[in-house]
Amino acid sequence: MKILFAAAPGHGLMLPLVPLVWAARAAGHEVLLATASEMAEVGARAGLPVVDVFPDRDVWGELLSNFGKPDSADVPPEYRRAIAARQPFGLFTLTMTEGTIAAARDWAPDLVVYTSDHDAGQLTAVALGAPALEVGNRVSWSMRDVSFRERHSRFLDDESVSALRSRLGIPEGRPDVIARIDPRPPSMGGLTADEPDPGDGVPWWSMRYVPYNGGAVLPEWTRQRPDRPRVGVTLGTVVPVIAGTTSLTVVIEALSTLDVEVVLAAGTADLSALGELPDNVRSVGYLPLSGFLPTCSLLVHHGGSGTTAAPLHYGVPQLVLPSFADNPMSAQRVADRGVGLSHDPATIDVATARDLLDTLLTDAKFSVAAREVAAEMATQPSPAAIIERITAR
């Protein structure tokens, strides 16, 4: 079987799809990943055959650089139209659909797999008349939640998308969806058994969230259990660009007063505002979370969906300082399940941060709950099981 995987061009949007692509390839199927911007290269480094469906512009960079200023004369017209429809990710629909359809027609897939937030994949399945699999890529929300589905799907009825359909000859209607995937653990909103979608009867299936956040040659210390608790700190790839790294100042100062080892994974973010780092902080730039989370006692982060899901997989408690988008929803899931705590980064101070960190490191109920969720996730069907189920039809 030939399977086309389509995903938006952000780390948190595309990387959750990678283990499913690997599973399909390992099962002997031909695969092709359709994405754009930096994710084309990231997908290639993950060992996948990739087509860059919009190579002439960095649409992910455009989204970040124009975030919050839709009236600027320099903003691409597609971004203004998407913002007017209250769907900023619509930028990807308006720019990536044509290239995704063209790649699909050249390759002639038997199945189109797309993430729930990527309408270009959905429209490609309609254009080809191919069966589709819709995959949730977040632990914060799912299209099973009617309010989110209505909010997201509204853009497909926007006049700019209607014009795109007309120009590309895309028929009306939605694709023939075999199933929809919810990756959330049951105790955090996920499925306990297959469920039919109340809107169209399409079955919902559970799938284990297998974290993929890149590869690296791991330093020796990542394999060793430290003598004192190891605390990971990260803001992901988006928050430093849009909101800066000011929230790290409070966290790092609070951690400097505790008997812990800190791993600061801030990627390429400018850390000059932090000044000289305390002696107990190891700044590692970009290091995949999966490389050091297994030896961590706590992860402090911004609430990105993938960053929230990774410590769930490894049974590590969390302190979430949510920024924007679905970050507050991730923080709420974490707090409600008891696998961590959260606080508004705009109002947190050093004393409050120290108290939260100390509570998470000393109160066993958080690590117990985190391990419970990890064990629960391990019982969910693997990506390989989903591929077997699809191809057995």
CATH topology of domain 220-362: Rossmann fold (3.40.50)
pTM: 0.93
Per the CB < 8 A criterion, the answer to whether 310 and 289 are in contact is: yes
Q: Which residues contact 105 (CB under 8 A, 6 or more apart)?
A: 127, 128
Contact at 8 Å (CB) between 233 and 264? yes
Q: Does position 355 have pLDDT exceeding 80, yes or no?
A: yes
Split at pLDDT 50, 70, 90, the class of 79 is confident
CATH of domain 2-207+380-391: 3.40.50.2000
Which residue, 264, 307, 241, 268, is CA-closest to 13? 307
pLDDT, residue 78, reads 84
Contacts of 253 (CB under 8 A, 6+ apart): 278, 350, 353
Q: According to the model, what pLDDT value does residue 245 have?
A: 65
pLDDT tens digits, one per residue of 87-113: 888 889 999 999 999 999 999 999 999
Hunting for tokens 């259990």 — which residue is that?
Answer: 225
Identify the residue with better confidence: 367 or 75.
367
Structural tokens at position 293: 């989370």
For residue 243, pLDDT over 70 is answered with no
pLDDT given for residue 364 in this prediction: 97
Say whether 111 sits in a helix, a strand or coil: strand
The secondary structure element, H or E, covering residue 328 is helix 327-337
**Residue 2 neighbours by CB distance under 10 Å:** 15
3-state secondary structure of 178: strand
| Cβ neighbour number for residue 207 with a 10 Å cutoff | 24
Neighbours of 214 (CB within 10 A): 16
Q: Output the CA torsion sign for 9, 14, 15, 21.
A: negative
The model's confidence at residue 159, banded by pLDDT at 50, 70 and 90, is: confident
Query: If you compute the radius of gyration of the chain from its CA atoms, what whole number of angstroms results?
Result: 21
Question: Confidence band (pLDDT; 50, 70, 90) for 272?
Answer: confident
pLDDT tens digits, one per residue of 315-331: 999 999 998 778 899 99
Pairing type for strands 2-6 and 298-301 reads: unpaired
Domain map of the chain by residue range? 2-207+380-391, 220-362
Interval 369-379 mean pLDDT: 98
Segment 215-243 shows an average pLDDT of 84
Cα distance between residue 289 and residue 373, in whole Å: 18
Identical fold between 2-207+380-391 and 220-362: yes
Q: Over range 226-237, report the average pLDDT.
A: 89
Span 18-23, mean pLDDT? 98
β-bridge partners, 179: 133
Instruction: Report d(CA 239, CA 388) in Å as an integer.
Output: 37
- Report residue 284: phi and psi, to 5°: -115, 5
